[in-house]
Structure 1
Amino acid sequence: MRIGTLVLRLVVGGVFVGHGLQKLTGAFGGPGLEGTEQMMEKTGMTPAARNARAVALTETAGGAAIALGAATPLAAGGLIATMLVATQKVHWRNGFWNTKGGWEFNAVLITALTAIAADGPGKLSVDAIRGRKRGGLRGALTALAVGAAGAVGVVQLAKGAQELAAEEHSAAEARSADGSARDAAL
């Protein structure tokens, strides 16, 4: 049995559960959903409420799945997606080191999740009980592909929502201006 994989799964999964609960409920001094929505709004991740719930639930449920060794490549992929989006939207511009708000911690978590997916969840896991022994290169590539696709998809959906909101705002302003011009003409 690989004790190292079990320890890594429990720690990494536990960290994600904690971060997810911070966002979801305000546990451990976190911002809760309201604060997470504000963060989403500031980073252009609209609609903010949907994205706040999505990241909070992904981190909580995905972290629990990693800790339990359940649906390991998929859970790792979902969590990798959250780290890639956080890196792009918040941390990249601050450089590498975490002391300056950089992406160091995100890189470590992405690497740990990829390693867990590559090694498989181990014998003491839900996946092993269910007879699923995904791991190796296929497990790692699955996690990375799911993570990359998820991150690109979420960012593109937010960009599309921003563009749609801007178009709706412009159309509303045009209707308002038309109405004001008609009223002035009367």
Structure 2
Amino acid sequence: MQRILFDLAALISRVAIGVIFVTHGWQKMQIGVPVTAAAFNQMGIPLPWLSAGFAILVETVGGVLLIIGLLVRLAALGLVVDMLGAIIFVHGAHGVLIQNGGWELAGALAVACLLLVAVGGGRLGIDGILHNSYRRRAERRAAEQDLAGHAPATSIRPEAPSEADTAPRPEAPSEADTAPRPVPPTARGGDMRNVDDVVADEPSRGRSPSA
């Protein structure tokens, strides 16, 4: 809740201060740098041309940056320098009250911008959006790295082949090996010459011996 209140207060302060500075810077821009430099010269501000250009640039651009919440600290720092120059060279010798030409308004604006330099412009602006986006990405990367550091190793190394795997395997028999081989004559009942002998002996046994 406190953070939300701070963001709202920072937003309102930024916009109000930015509108004031844009109004003064736009006024100087409309009358032109030469007229503004001549007025600065009459006030005793050193380097009137450079001071006039710096005042127009920082008040206009810095005011816009405060309104949109971009580079708030840098813009506020430039506006602090601008107001310090106005207090030192113009309003400081005239007291506090603004109706007497005093530093009342310049001092209030300088202090408000100094506070923005110290605390920033809050989350309701471009700076806050960019910061939150960067922080989320950093947290996501940190979570991914932490998860990767605790994750188990998933790579499986191949095991060394065993002796059974490296032993030569018998080749499949070819058609020549599986074809039926002719049986040798001896395996079918002996030599063919024995058969011839038996056939040759049979007629002699059937006939009676001749006289």
User: Is there any run of 5+ residues in structure 2 with no aligned partner, and where?
Assistant: 133-211
Larger Rg: 2
Check conservation: 1:5, 1:119, Cα contact below 8 A.
no
The residue number in structure 1 matching 2:15 is: 10
> What does residue 109 of structure 2 align with?
109
The change in CA–CA distance for 1:70 and 1:107 in structure 2 (over 3 A counts) is: same
Q: What's 2:167 paired with?
A: none
Question: For residue 100 of structure 2, what is the aligned residue in structure 1?
Answer: 100
Equivalent position of 1:128 in the other structure = 128
Q: State how far apart, in whole Å, the 2-side matches of 1:45 and 1:63 are.
A: 22
Superposed CA RMSD in Å reads: 1.7
Q: What's the CA shift string for 1:16-47, capped at 9, x where partnerless?
A: 01111111124xxxxx3232111121234354
User: Runs of 4+ in structure 1 displaced over 6 angstroms?
Assistant: none
Select between 88-97 and 117-126 the one with higher mean Cα deviation.
117-126
TM-score (ref. length: structure 2): 0.56
What is the TM-score normalised by the length of structure 1?
Answer: 0.63
Aligned to 2:29: 24
SS in structure 2 of the partner of residue 122 of structure 1 = coil
Further displaced range: 113-122 or 99-108:
113-122
Q: Please list the CA deviations of residues 96-142 of structure 1 after superposition, one character each: whole Å capped at 9, or x if unmatched.
A: 1112110011111111112223332111111112218xxxxxxxxxx
Q: Check the 8 A contact 2:94/2:101 in 1, yes or no.
A: yes
Structure 2 residue aligned with 1:38: 38
CA distance in 1, matches of 2:26, 2:119: 27
Structure 1 residues 160-180: Cα deviation after superposition (integer angstroms, max 9, x where no partner): xxxxxxxxxxxxxxxxxxxxx
Where does the alignment leave 5 or more consecutive residues of structure 1 unmatched?
A: 27-31, 133-186
* Partner Cα separation in structure 1 for residue 38 and residue 112 of structure 2: 29
In structure 2, do the counterparts of structure 1 residues 108 and 47 end up closer, same or farther at CA, with 3 Å as the change threshold? closer
More helix per residue: 1
What CA distance in whole angstroms lies between the structure 2 residues aligned with 1:117 and 1:72? 7
For 2:57, the equivalent position in structure 1 comes to 57
Distance in structure 2 (CA, Å) of the matches to 1:58 and 1:119: 20
Amino acid at match of 1:75: A
